[in-house]
Structure formats: C-alpha cells, structure tokens
C-alpha cells in the first residue's frame, strides 16, 4: 500500500522518540582538549572497559593545560539524568577534583567550555572508584567533563543514562515538515459545505463582473 510516510507518522501517537536502555555513551564518538599519548584517546572512556590502571591502555589522558575537557556526542537529544565515572586507578586521583559535568546541545571547544548546562560538580573521588552522579533531567546531545582550571584530566570510563520517554506521550512528528507531492497521493476533496460556499462565491463574483450586460433579440450579449 503506497502512502506517504508523513501521513503514517501522524497516525502513530504512541511512537517513542527515545525508549532508552543502558549506557548511551557506550561506543559513541568522544573528543578531548588534547591527548598526552596515542593510547590515551578520548574514546577510551566510552569503550565499555572500566580498567582503571593507566598502563593497561583503557583510560584517557590530556596534557597539562588550562581547562582540559572531555566530551561525548550522544547523536540525539536525550533527557540526561545520570552520569557514572570511573577514576584513575594507579595514581593521581586528585586530578578529577572539582571537575564539572555539563549537558547540552552545544559542541565544546577550547576556550568555549561553559555553554552547556552545569549538572554536577565532582568534589573528589578515590583511586579506581566508580561513582554515579544523579541530577534532574537535562536535555542535550553532548555530555562534557570540564576541569575549570589548569591541570590534567584522566577518565577511565564515562557512562551516560537518560530518562525513558513516556510510551503514552503523544507527539506529532510531522509538525513543521514540508509536504511535497506524491504520485500515489489522492487529492483530498473539500467538505460539501465548503464546496457550496465556494460555488456560491464564484457565482456572485461572475454576476458582479457583468452588472450591465443584457441579451439582445439576435442572441448576442451587450
């Protein structure tokens, strides 16, 4: 049956935009302000491996710099409500002290680190600890970890969780979409009352345009 997809979307009021399960950051693209060594890239924090010993190659590591940061792209906007972080396990647990968790729709960059909404501040974390930070839902595509001063940022795993979309919620996914012609779409007929009004208006318009015309015996109009 040929039918434009735009019509189907409006007929599915229970369609969920994000029926979430599990860690949204897992396997997603991550970036950081700098990379200290080749094996300490940003993606090490989204690989699903919570190994916290740096020499086992599963942790990130920036250079020593002003405002080091790390960010993951979730690909879609979610109502993020929980972030779980695994800290460095063999030294330097204090590196993460006072790091900020931020959520929003702005892509982070060096010198532009505070655009997204502040969700939580990590006051401190023990060596090799995995701790969860829960906060009210914040809508966003990006989750950032930002150190607000000069230092090194090391993360061994970052997990992101969001509030599940209400299955009963209604959303018109076609709203704001441009409707184009479709070869199999039938032309919709006007309601009868609208047809009558249009016809009457057309008749009145025709009479209004020829108020002084009359028919002569020869059959012509003057």
Q: What are the structural domains, with CATH classification, of the chain?
A: 30-162 (2.60.120.260), 176-209 (no CATH)
Closest CA to 2 of 180, 188, 178, 183: 183
Tell how far CA 68 is from the center of its chain: 24
For the stretch 132-190, pLDDT in tens is: 999 999 999 999 999 999 999 999 999 999 988 755 444 443 344 444 444 444 444 44
Report yes or no on whether pTM surpasses 0.95: no
Phi-psi region of 219 (alpha: psi -120 to 50; beta: other; left: phi over 0): left
Backbone angles phi, psi at 55, to 5 degrees: -70, -5
- CA separation for the pair 192, 198 (Å, rounded): 10
pLDDT of 167 reads 52
pLDDT band at residue 49 under the 50/70/90 scheme = very high
Sequence-distant (6+) residues with CB within 8 A of 150 are: 64, 65, 66, 67
């Amino acid at each position: 049956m040929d039918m434009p997809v735009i019509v189907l979307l409006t007929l599915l009021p229970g369609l969920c935009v994000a029926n979430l399960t599990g860690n949204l950051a897992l396997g997603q693209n991550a970036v950081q302000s700098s990379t200290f060594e080749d094996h300490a890239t940003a993606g090490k924090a989204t690989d699903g491996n919570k190994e916290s010993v740096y020499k086992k190659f599963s942790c990130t590591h920036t250079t020593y710099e002003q405002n080091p940061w790390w960010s993951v792209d979730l690909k879609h906007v979610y109502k993020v409500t929980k972030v779980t972080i695994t800290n460095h396990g063999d030294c330097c647990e204090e590196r993460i002290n006072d790091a900020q968790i931020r959520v929003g729709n702005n892509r982070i960059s060096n010198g532009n680190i505070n655009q997204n909404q502040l969700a939580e501040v990590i006051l401190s974390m023990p060596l090799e600890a995995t701790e969860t930070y829960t906060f009210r839902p914040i809508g966003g595509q990006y989750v950032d970890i930002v150190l607000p001063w000069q230092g090194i940022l090391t993360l061994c795993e970052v997990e992101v969780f969001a509030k599940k979309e209400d299955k009963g919620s209604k959303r018109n996914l076609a709203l704001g979409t441009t409707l184009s012609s479709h070869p199999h779409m039938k032309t919709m007929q006007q309601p009868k009352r609208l047809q009558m009004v249009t016809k009457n208006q057309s008749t009145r318009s025709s009479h209004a345009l020829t108020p002084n015309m009359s028919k002569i015996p020869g059959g012509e109009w003057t």
